[in-house]
Structure 1
Amino acid sequence: MMKYQESFISIYIETDYLDGPLKEDDGSHSFHFEVGGKHISYGSPEHKALSEKYGDTHYNRLADIFKAALSRPLLSVDTEALDDYDEAHPAGSSLNDIAILHYTTCEPFVASGYTTEYGFTREEYRLSEMPAGEKILLGWSFGLRLDREPSTIEEHKVRVTFSFEGDRKLTQTFTVKAKQQ
């Protein structure tokens, strides 16, 4: 459904909780997470303030009433081995060098004055190489892939922490198991 709006984003989603992980069925160590929370709808004072904060104020055309972005900037994502993952990653160590995150953002579209390719762009980074700084106007869905198997076939626990503006941290723990040889 479409309606005329000053902003491209119709709904901002507060970063209240992290759903998941859902494991992908492709045989990889890929997981899907969704951030959820209170919806801030178009026309509300909170929505107007967020649109001004992110520069989404001059769309001025028909917009999908279900276009949603997170209300807070993402600052970082960290993964940690809770068990000995492999020789290079003992319990308590970061897995950011083998963790690849992907998400969508409409920041390039909004920043261009709504002139670049329409809508949300997919971005992907190895966590250890993810550019510093705020990631804004993100979709609520994230994919995380570990590109190395654990060294043993037992289940290994991994913790992922998403850090947002305002000292908001959302954490989930999931298990990874090496494929049997």
Structure 2
Amino acid sequence: MAADQAHLHGKRILAVDDEVDILETIEDILDMATVDTAQDYEHASEKIRTQTYDLAILDIMGVNGLTLLEETVAKGIPTVMLTAHAVNPETLMASIRKGAISYLPKETLVELDDFLEALLAAQAAGKPPWKLLFDRLGTYFDERFGPDWKNKDEAFWSDFSRHWEVGRGIQSRLKHDRRLLDKGI
């Protein structure tokens, strides 16, 4: 095991996408983990209900990913949204609101293992995973959406920036975290 794959090694990951080549690519990139796949909402939802996962990677389009996100959050599964066609500020904000820990354009798929390793390391260290996304891909979003894209929803982004540590998504995940619920928190 390489030191740079310590957080991914042995993890059980659910990858959901309607494109077989994307799922195969994810499996190849994340060969240090056990990757379970689904190509549609129904199969993914069944797996979420009946299996245990350390992480989920969900496409937004084609598989009803934002609804699946609600299901993974309810099960306490940290979830990364992966998209090509829905790379826009609205789905980014919806992903945050619904509890995803990150949002990645498929264009960055070749770096998936490095990004997930850094994301899981940040989360394990108690650092906000969304900050890592914007540190790494902030320029990408500015170029894709325009330099003033956050100004359209200034109140949302202002609130979000003030609450990196306990954002709405984190609060939503915590409400479903068995470790906390079992302690009466």
| TM-score > 0.5, shorter chain as reference | no
Task: Kindly indicate whether structure 1 or structure 2 has the higher relative contact order, using CA contacts under 8 Å at least 6 residues apart.
Answer: 1
Q: Who wins on radius of gyration, i.e. which is larger? A: 1
Q: What TM-score results when the alignment is normalised by the length of structure 1? A: 0.26
More strand as a share of residues:
1
More helix as a share of residues:
2
